[in-house]
Structure 1
Amino acid sequence: MKQNYIFLVLTMTLISSLTMAQTDSKIIEDFKPSTVNQPGKEFPKVNSQGYARFRIEAPTADSVRVSLGLGGKGGTKLTKSADGAWTGTTGGPMDEGFHYYHINIDGGTFNDPGALNFYGSTRWESGIEIPAHDQDFYALKAVPHGNVQQILFPSKSTNTSRRAFVYTPPGYGKEQSKRYPVLYLQHGWGEDETAWSNQGHANLIMDNLIAEGKIKPFIIVMTYGMTNEIKFGGLRNFDVTAFQTVLVDELIPYIDANFQTIAKQSHRAMGGLSMGGMETKMVTLNKTDVFSQYALLSGGTYSSEDIKDKSKVKLIFLSCGSKERPDGVKNAVVTLKNAGFNAVSYVSEGTGHEFQTWRRSLKELAPLLFKE
């Protein structure tokens, strides 16, 4: 898939990628606080249809809008009530899953005091969770849980110590002789190394799949892709060299030296969402002796001509939302299969360039990785 498509879907991310369907105008009054609200905060609220309702206390303001929702240009316009608070409901239901948003008050940009903050769009944004029909696969359950730990690893190329987060599965460390495969999983543009755990619930997805016996345990490493220094609009000219050096020459050796990994190309995978998918494609094609399994989540495609040595590739996984360009993903996989590759496509129904697509993609990808 060409880079202009990736630029297009990144633009969709920046504007919240909230493609919504108009439904019956009757709104069901079963609103409940969003599950990612600040402790004890009643608003924002969401209902069973996918509508969101907001209440912002700004008694001296002249105009208040929320940056998401079917409310015309600029998002959902709120109305001032007698008590000085501004309230309003999105003009239509939103896609299931997680969304970033912020508040515009008299032209200024602010976060919603009622919502938790998540790093996206190169800033800490408010977050809202629209209940999903399939949310059970990333729910917090009474199952054995792994750990997500922050590490600092030395980086000579950037003259500092860099941060990564490492998911280790339940039971990790109990047997010193046991070794695990590793997935290096990248975030999208505007996000950082916290995204896959905080917004994506990657650790809970893994815990639940392991508890259900659907996957063999493996480690996930999430680090900053060094993408946000690039101005939006110039992403097509992104040079992966600096990040590739940090990842391949500094982070991977550190992980192999400090964690119980199987330090082999055959047991090492790389994947990423959106911009992280673009990075994944660049790095995997440049470093065929490092990774054997590739995953692009709303991040483009591979062609058979891209890969010079088929024997070094064990799996290619391509996914996107049904509101993106699913035919491109499906057709690319058909072509790869015809060329003899183990290629799999997945399309998340009813979602666009957003985290519900990528949560579902990880759920589908994980059982395919590191098969003997």
Structure 2
Amino acid sequence: MKNLISLLYFLCFFGFEAKSQNNKTNPDTSGSVPAVTNVRGAKYPLILSNHRVMFRIKAPEAQKVQIDFGKKYDLIKDNDSFWSITTDSIGEGFHYYSLLIDGIATADPASESFYGMGRMASGIEIPFAGGEYYAEKDVPHGDIRIKKYYSTVTKSWRQLFIYTPPGYDANINEKYPVLYILHGGGEDERGWATQGKTDLIMDNLIAEKKAKPMLVVMPDANLGAGAFGEDGLKAFEAEMKQCIIPFIENNCRVKNTSANRALAGLSMGGINTLYTGVYNTNYFSYLGVFSSGWIVPMQNSIADAQYDYMKQNSSKINGDLKLFWLAEGGKEDIAYKNGQIMLAKFNELGIRHAYYEYPGGHTWPVWRNNLYHFAPLLFK
């Protein structure tokens, strides 16, 4: 009798495990679609109806294959040397991920790659029911342009991306306001232009007359290894004032007053915005800080110096700025706590600001939404 019970337990347990593994490698694929971020003709990654993602990769010599979304998934090898797995449900919007083969992180050859995480990484776009604001629509479209400029700060040639609104080339007598927008750590000037969907967001806002036509300038905020230290922040401040703004105003049809300039950034770019923007309110009338705040305790001395400056210059800051807009990605945002500490300090110092919160963490779905809500507030 004891042996029979043991056998039944084994069969039930094994059957459950087999079914579980089968669901991971051979799930119901009805209603599934290849990710729009797949390279041309690639079926996988395959997005299932419940936002789970199925991966299938051929790696005959590999000993172990994983997919890393922050959480790692072990793929299972079949007899044809294909490795497969189906993830848990992945949040809507854009996400970086890595393919790990025997512990080595690499980009998935079946997916488009993006510069993020400090290297070229795979990216996947999970369909988003609320993503109509960055969908491709039958509206007038602007352009994304790439320009080279010489930096007297770095003594090197650098590049930036520029969004020009619909009609920019035709309306040769019109000048436009400018939003300078900055990427986060581990990214560069390509971030807002590709992962951020800046052109589509702006095209749709302008078409709906929710935002004024404007240029959006996307520079590279990486100036050396110490980007989060005061030397790096000072270097970027100099880059903006000595190189980027003069280049744009000498080469594009833009209005060159502070009332027609805005500066914003996400994460590391938000810290650059705090440093460059608060100390230079004679340059900018609008500041946007997304998923950011002074990093405690690493930047305490930098923050304390700025808070002292704010205390002494609160009337000037409040008078110069038409909008100081701060946003966080909910409590799951890694910058949330530091952001709340900073907000409390602003209240204490009497610095006027607006606060917006959109749940989603420290991710591109949040920052796209931030741009969508920030841009209509500019240049009124």
TM exceeds 0.5? yes
* 1:122 CA displacement: 1.2
Identify the structure with the greater helix proportion. 2
Contact kept, 8 Å, 2:39 with 2:112, in 1: the verdict is: yes
Aligned: 1:315 with 2:323: yes
Instruction: After TM superposition, list the pairs within 5 Å mapping 1:35-50 onto structure 2.
Output: 35-50=36-51
2:292 and 2:338 in contact (8 A); partners too: no
SS of residue in 1 equivalent to 2:89: coil
CA deviation profile, 1:259-282 (whole Å, cap 9, x unmatched): 111100111010000000001100
Match of 2:63 in 1: 62
Deviation of 1:154 after TM superposition, in Å, equals: 1.8
The one-letter code sitting in structure 1 at the alignment partner of 2:225 is I
Q: Which has the higher contact order (CA 8 A, sep 6+)?
A: 1
Structure 1 residues 329, 240: CA separation in 2 closer, same or farther (over 3 Å shift)? Answer: closer
Paired residue type of 2:354: V
Aligned to 2:244: 251
Q: How far apart are the structure 1 equivalents of 2:312 and 2:285?
A: 14
Q: Find the residue that maps to 1:243 and give its secondary structure.
A: helix
Cα RMSD over matched residues?
Answer: 2.5
In structure 2, what residue type is equivalent to 1:362? L
Residues 187-266 of structure 1: pairs in structure 2 closer than 5 A: 187-226=183-222, 229-230=224-225, 235=228, 239-266=232-259
Say whether residues 1:288 and 2:281 are aligned partners. yes
| 2-structure distance, mates of 1:306, 1:238 | 23
**TM-score (norm: length of structure 2):** 0.82
Name the counterpart of 2:374: 365
Describe the shift of the 1:326–1:106 C-alpha distance in structure 2 as closer, same or farther (beyond 3 A).
closer
What's the CA shift string for 1:145-170, capped at 9, x where partnerless? 00110001121222222100000000
Please give the alpha-carbon distance, in whole angstroms, between the structure 1 residues aligned to 2:258 and 2:170. Answer: 25
User: In the TM superposition, what is the alpha-carbon distance from 1:247 to its structure 2 partner?
Assistant: 1.4
Q: Which residue of 1 aligns with 2:137?
A: 141
1:345 aligns with 2:348: no
The 5 Å alignment of 1:117-128 reads: 117-128=113-124
1:326 CA drift (Å): 5.6
State whether residues 115 and 187 of structure 2, in contact with CA within 8 Å, keep that contact through their aligned partners in structure 1: yes
Give the Å deviation of 1:31. Answer: 2.3
> 1:332, CA displacement in angstroms?
6.3
Q: Aligned in 2, Cα 1:178/1:195: closer, same or farther, shift over 3 Å?
A: same
- Distance, in Å, in 2 between the alignment partners of 1:241 and 1:52 is 43
Aligned to 1:88: 85
- Conserved 8 A contact 2:179-2:264: yes
Residues 28 and 48 in structure 1, CA contact (< 8 A), matched pair in contact too: no
> Conserved in 2, the CA contact under 8 Å of 1:333 and 1:344?
no
Comparing 191-200 with 132-141, which one deviates more in the overlay? 132-141
TM-score by length of 1: 0.84
> Does the 8 A contact of 2:292 with 2:336 survive in 1?
no
**What is the alpha-carbon distance in structure 2 between the residues aligned to residue 338 and residue 48 of structure 1?**
48
Amino acid at match of 1:62: Q
- AA matched with 2:92: E
For residue 69 of structure 1, report the CA deviation from its aligned partner.
6.2
Provide closer, same or farther for how the CA distance between residues 330 and 243 of structure 1 changes in structure 2, counting only shifts above 3 A.
closer
Q: Name the amino acid aligned to 1:60.
A: E
Letter in 1 for 2:375: A
Q: Is the 8 A contact 1:314 1:342 kept in 2?
A: no
Unaligned runs of 5+ in 1: 1-24
Offset, 1:344: 2.2
Partner of 2:104: 108
Would you say the 8 A contact 1:96–1:130 is kept in 2? yes
Cα distance in 1 for partners of 2:313, 2:269 equals 19
Amino acid at match of 2:122: S
2:4 equivalent in structure 1: none
Rate the CA distance shift 1:28–1:216 in 2: closer, same or farther, 3 A: farther
Which amino acid in the other structure matches residue 193 of structure 2? S
**Gap change, CA 1:290 and 1:188, over 3 Å in 2:** same
Bigger CA radius of gyration: 2
Contact 1:285 1:307 in 2 (8 A): no
